Amino acid sequence: MITPDHIDELVQLRSSARLAAEDFSEAIKTAAEQNDIAKGALRRYICAKEKDELDKLNGESEALLTLLGE
């Protein structure tokens, strides 16, 4: 059975994750505003770079350009 200490540890980890996500969102917002970049685009780029998925993101952007007729 899961112990109260383990529950407390999981609650603390969840709290830390939530706070980190809030900090990340605020950092993305600030950087996007300062550099005149769409927040969503910057977030997608940073997330893809962190996961080493820039090739996948590039493929998606090429497909979007095709769909947009460019």
Please name which of 33, 56, 34 lies closest in space to residue 45, comparing C-alpha atoms: 56
> Please, which residues have CB within 8 angstroms of residue 34's CB and are 6 or more apart in sequence?
none
Rounded Cα–Cα distance for residues 30 and 48 (Å): 19
First to last CA, the chain: 59
The region, left, alpha or beta by phi > 0 then psi within -120 to 50, assigned to residue 28 is: alpha
Give the pLDDT of residue 70. 72
Q: What is the DSSP letter of 1?
A: -
pTM of the model: 0.82
Q: Which residues of the chain have pLDDT under 70?
A: none
